[in-house]
């Protein structure tokens, strides 16, 4: 009875707008107290994450992403992809997809992508002859593309959370990066095919088509940014550098290029950029720390085991479980940001999925792919409201605009779910 009352109080606090870390931390403290364990155990769990070398990658990649977002790099990226692909039928739409995917992969936040690239891509698509609804839908939905590509923060965070659960199956962050590659490409290919079909025969009256001189000028314009993904991704996939080393390289390189060489970010603005980046990092790490403490209580109380036993009594095979999992994750993605969902839900869900014989790598890609489209799933997808504010359009207009993209990506999620080889082939599982 006491547990039920406490749960209701915490749920009410969360709905009333209490910070998520405070609600999770309070639940952990109460759980430890009811179990007769000293509350200092929560502090020990928070301190334990400081001993995880991979965690260094989160603030460093976040810093690199914020520096790139505040610089003129988005404009140079759009110019480069437009020079190479924009002259073809549907090419500008593919430019938008690729630019957003690359940008989200480094920033780890789809909202930043919509804000940073939206002002460039939306008017460009309109000028090229694309309809208003298609242009809005493309920019809003492609803002979440890139979550499955290295060095995406959600990929890293999933790996960090999963590694704390002492799984019987080993899993590394490098494996996760490889696992997300083909599913991410599948999503890009499906949306690109639709964009080419939708934009057949369209070309901006101001676009000269492919121009070798413009392409070369765009390559030179982006010359300092181009080596960054090559160094980082080539080093990670090639096994030459560790994830934390790649993150340090990305942060230092972005800082030197955008502040010292390019001068896009003045020294006086740099502290503000650092503060904004570390606000996100602080929120992630604090939620992660208190969630690990809460997870231990749930494991001691056999919550995942009991949940698996209950689900197994209702769902008798893994294929049915997977479709129910997709529905649950889509709803979750509408209501909860991806970082909170990772640290709260994965510790409960992963042991249950293992009971159905689902590889943790495969589960991670299914989880993130669903959360990716949950960002713009009506009625409460976060990107819908960000895009509504950014472009000055009613939310209902965004609902209608994103529906075709939602169904296309939902089809991609089902393929990813029921064809495990897409996620497991490159890691060699």
Q: What is the pLDDT of residues 68-119, one digit of tens each?
A: 878 887 778 777 777 776 666 667 788 788 888 887 887 666 566 776 677 6
Could you give the 3-state DSSP secondary structure of residue 149?
coil
Domain that includes residue 417, residue range:
39-424
- DSSP letters spanning 285-305: HHHHHHHHHHHHHHHHTTHHH
Question: How many domains is the chain partitioned into structurally?
Answer: 1
Query: What pLDDT score was predicted for residue 1?
Result: 45
Query: How far is CA 148 from each of CA 131, 141, 263, 325, 368, rounded to the nearest angstrom?
Result: 28, 14, 31, 18, 7
Evaluate whether 250 touches 61 at the Cβ level (below 8 Å).
yes
Nearest residue to 146 (alpha-carbon basis) of 176, 92, 110: 110
Residue 299 included in any domain: yes
Could you give the 3-state DSSP secondary structure of residue 106?
helix
In the chain, which residues have pLDDT < 50?
1
Residue 14 included in any domain: no
Helices (H) and strands (E) in the chain, counts: 21, 0
Residue 16 included in any domain: no
Cβ neighbour number for residue 330 with a 10 Å cutoff: 18
Query: What pLDDT score was predicted for residue 296?
Result: 65
Structure tokens given for 234: 């080539």
Residue 20 included in any domain: no
Residue 6 included in any domain: no
Nearest-angstrom CA–CA distance, 158 and 365: 9
Q: DSSP letter for 366, please.
A: H
Residue 284 included in any domain: yes
pTM of the full structure = 0.79
Query: What pLDDT score was predicted for residue 4?
Result: 61
22-29 long-range contacts (CB < 8 A, ≥24 apart) are 24/287, 24/290, 24/291, 24/294, 24/344, 25/290, 25/293, 25/294, 27/294, 27/297, 28/290, 28/293, 28/294, 28/297
Structure tokens given for 93: 């739409």
Residue 349 included in any domain: yes
Q: What is the pLDDT of residues 36-69, one digit of tens each?
A: 776 676 677 667 666 666 777 778 888 887 888 7
Query: What pLDDT score was predicted for residue 369?
Result: 92
Nearest-angstrom CA–CA distance, 182 and 186: 6
Query: What pLDDT score was predicted for residue 316?
Result: 76
Nearest-angstrom CA–CA distance, 289 and 41: 11
Residue 9 included in any domain: no
């Amino acid at each position: 009875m006491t547990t039920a009352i406490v749960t209701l109080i915490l749920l009410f606090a969360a709905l009333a707008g209490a910070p998520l870390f405070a609600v999770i931390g309070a639940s952990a403290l109460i759980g430890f107290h009811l179990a007769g364990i000293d509350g200092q155990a929560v502090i020990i769990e928070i301190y334990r994450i400081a001993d995880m070398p991979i965690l260094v990658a989160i603030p460093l990649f976040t810093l690199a992403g914020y520096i790139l977002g505040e610089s003129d790099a988005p404009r140079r990226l759009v110019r480069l992809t437009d020079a190479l692909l924009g002259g073809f039928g549907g090419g500008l739409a593919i430019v938008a997809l690729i630019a957003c995917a690359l940008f989200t992969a480094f920033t780890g936040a789809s909202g930043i992508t919509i804000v940073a690239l939206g002002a460039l891509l939306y008017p460009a698509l309109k000028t090229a002859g694309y309809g208003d609804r298609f242009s809005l839908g493309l920019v809003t939905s492609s803002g979440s593309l890139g979550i499955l590509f290295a060095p995406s923060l959600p990929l890293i965070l999933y790996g960090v959370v999963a590694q704390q659960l002492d799984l019987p199956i080993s899993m590394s962050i490098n494996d996760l990066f490889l696992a997300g590659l083909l599913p991410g490409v599948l999503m890009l290919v499906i949306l690109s095919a639709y964009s080419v079909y939708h934009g057949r025969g369209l070309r901006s009256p101001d676009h000269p088509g492919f121009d070798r001189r413009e392409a070369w000028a765009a390559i030179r314009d982006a010359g300092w940014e181009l080596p960054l993904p090559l160094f980082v991704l080539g080093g990670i996939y090639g096994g030459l550098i560790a994830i934390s080393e790649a993150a340090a390289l990305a942060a230092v390189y972005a800082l030197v290029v955008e502040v010292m060489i390019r001068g896009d970010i003045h020294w006086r603005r740099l502290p503000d950029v650092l503060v904004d980046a570390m606000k996100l990092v602080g929120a992630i790490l604090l939620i992660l720390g208190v969630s690990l403490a809460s997870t231990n209580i749930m494991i001691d109380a056999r919550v995942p085991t009991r949940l698996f036993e209950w689900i197994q009594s209702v769902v008798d095979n893994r294929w049915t479980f997977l479709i129910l999992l997709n529905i649950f994750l889509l709803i979750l993605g509408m209501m909860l940001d991806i970082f909170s969902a990772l640290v709260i839900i994965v510790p409960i869900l992963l042991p249950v999925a293992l009971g159905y014989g689902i590889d943790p790598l495969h589960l991670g890609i299914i989880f993130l792919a669903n959360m990716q489209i949950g960002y713009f799933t009506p009625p409460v997808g976060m990107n819908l409201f960000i895009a509504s504010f950014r472009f000055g359009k009613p939310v209902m207009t965004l609902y209608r605009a994103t529906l075709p993209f939602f169904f296309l990506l939902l089809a991609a999620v089902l393929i990813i779910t029921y064809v495990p080889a897409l996620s497991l082939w490159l890691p060699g599982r």
